[in-house]
Chain A
């Protein structure tokens, strides 16, 4: 059953009184919150996700709630907890949806050690997995959002879950998080894409979430074999450049983007090296989205 098929008001009731449990690809989540903005965020962005029972295995139990005390009257804040632990300082209440998404990313990066977790967008087309690791501002989410609106399947815009067992990358599709100029760029590029409200003045600037396409949810149980590893770099006013990288250099760079490489040790290193063995590696600089997409599309041709 999908969350949208729950009887009216059940999403709100489960969220505020017990937990709302749902599946995001390989990660099962249970959420509790009485914040209206979180209830709206989940209704708007997760209504097509599969509902889970409390008896199902849950990877992450999280709670997003208002900070109490006098502060809630003059400067309301939100905080995020994971199994009772609060990893972040509270944020302004209006940033609750952003905190929820960041919090989930943090949880996955810190607990899902059955995977090597790469800070990367991961999408798929015709069976080819495209891994795009990147630091904030590199344009990975912008490219990812544009490509999933051109027929690529979204596995994640934020983290690639590389299985230590079979070397495949497992999906964990969630809303695509866009920042600042990228919001308008993707709204113009994909007028049919569904966006939430812009959350202004966060630590990362203005944030807007784009609903994950239906194709991402249909394929949420289907892992992908990585075929291309592309390190994107957005720069103003440059010619598009797609340069082949040596595998050794690609591995060195990839290690910088692996959240839990140090936790996994030798096993993580072997997983990365095995992935590098089977992918073509590129450094990709671009400034214009349309020509950038052409560059990416040529890879699988």
Chain B
């Protein structure tokens, strides 16, 4: 595991175990990160984003792509 996460209502705090950095995320984005780290299939993640934000498939795919980029930059996922 590269991080630890604590959830409180609609927010979450992520602790990067390697760097010691901490990040404030929405609770949903924290949950997506948690799912990404457990190798959840992309289709499942997109479905969750569509349900959470009521957006179409393409927008959800773009959103997920951005999350992957951000989390990789922060070394929270491989």
- Taking Cβ atoms with an 8 Å cutoff, the residues of A that contact B are 246-249, 251-252, 255, 261-262, 265-266, 269-270, 273, 276
Contacts and interface: CB of A to CB of B under 8 A. Distances in A.
B9 interface: yes
B11 A262 contact: no
A249 B24 contact: yes
Interface residues of B, number: 12
B11 A249 contact: yes
A291 to B, nearest CB: 30
A248 B12 contact: yes
A246 B22 CA distance: 16
A261 B15 CA distance: 11
Contacts of B4: 266, 269-270
Q: Which 8 A-B pairs have the closest CB atoms?
A: A248-B11, A247-B8, A269-B15, A273-B6, A248-B13, A248-B8, A251-B13, A252-B24
Interface of B: 4, 6, 8-9, 11-13, 15, 17, 20, 22, 24
SS class, residues of chain A in contact with chain B: helix
Nearest to A281: B8
B11 A246 contact: yes
Contact of A252 (B9, B17, B20, B22): B22
SS class, residues of chain B in contact with chain A: strand
Contacts of A261: 20
Nearest to B15: A269
Contact of B20 (A251, A262, A270): A262
B13 A265 contact: no
A249 B8 CA distance: 10
Given A246-B9, A246-B11, A269 B24 contact: no
Contacts of A251: 6, 13, 22
Given A247-B9, A248-B6, A252-B22, 19 more contacts: A246-B8, A246-B9, A247-B8, A248-B8, A248-B12, A248-B13, A248-B24, A251-B13, A252-B13, A252-B24, A255-B22, A262-B20, A266-B4, A266-B15, A266-B17, A269-B4, A269-B15, A269-B22, A273-B13
Contacts of A247: 8-9, 11
6 contacts: A247-B8, A251-B6, A252-B24, A266-B15, A269-B4, A269-B15
A146 to B, nearest CB: 31
Contacts of B11: 246-249
A265 B20 contact: yes
A270 B9 CA distance: 18
B41 to A, nearest CB: 28
A264 to B, nearest CB: 10
Contacts of A265: 17, 20
A276 B7 CA distance: 11
Contacts of A269: 4, 15, 22
A111 to B, nearest CB: 20
B57 to A, nearest CB: 30
A249 B24 CA distance: 7
A278 to B, nearest CB: 12
Nearest to B6: A273
A249 B22 CA distance: 11
A246 B20 CA distance: 22
Contacts of A249: 11, 24
A246 B9 CA distance: 9
A277 to B, nearest CB: 8
Nearest to A246: B11
